[in-house]
Structure 1
Amino acid sequence: MKEITSTMAGTVLNILVNVGQDVSIGQEVIILESMKMEIPVESQISGKVRGIKMKIGDFVNEGDVLIVLE
């Protein structure tokens, strides 16, 4: 099991992938909002989305698991 984690603290503004979708390295998967800026989170690994661990509006800290891949 592989995990995509948050690169910074912020609020989840948008989720760009769905469970079952294939993700490639460098693909934007989440948009965070921090200090009124939109920050894309890119996947550092490839795989199929197995689970999404947060929802739009949730606050996440740096290092929190956002998406689980298989």
Structure 2
Amino acid sequence: MNTIETLVSGHVCAIHTEVGATIAAGDAVMMIESMKMEIPLESDHAGVVKAILVQAGDAVAEGQAVIELE
């Protein structure tokens, strides 16, 4: 199982996937707001979304796992 982790700390402003979705490496799966900028979070791995560990509006830390892939 792989996870997608944040590269910056900030707040989740949008989630662009759902549990059960198939994603490819490089797909933008989430938008993180950090220092008044919106930064897309891209998947490093291809797979099927098993779990989304955060919700829109949640604060996230750099390196935090936010999505689990099968």
Range of TM-score over shorter length:
over 0.9
Q: 1:22 matched to which residue of 2?
A: 22
- The count of corresponding residues between Structure 1 and Structure 2 is 70
Q: 2:69 matched to which residue of 1?
A: 69
After superposing on structure 2, the runs of 4+ consecutive aligned residues of structure 1 that deviate more than 4 Å are none
Name the % identity.
43
Counterpart secondary structure, 2:41:
strand
Structure 2: which 5+ runs fail to align? none
C-alpha RMSD of matched pairs (Å)? 0.4
Deviation digits for residues 16-67 of structure 1, max 9, x if unmatched?
0000000101000010001110000000100000000000000000110010
Q: Output the amino acid matched with 1:31.
A: M
Counterpart secondary structure, 2:62:
coil
* TM score, norm. by length of structure 1: 0.98
Partners of 2:55 and 2:23 lie apart in 1 by 18
Partners of 1:23 and 1:67 lie apart in 2 by 11
Q: Output the amino acid matched with 1:13.
A: C
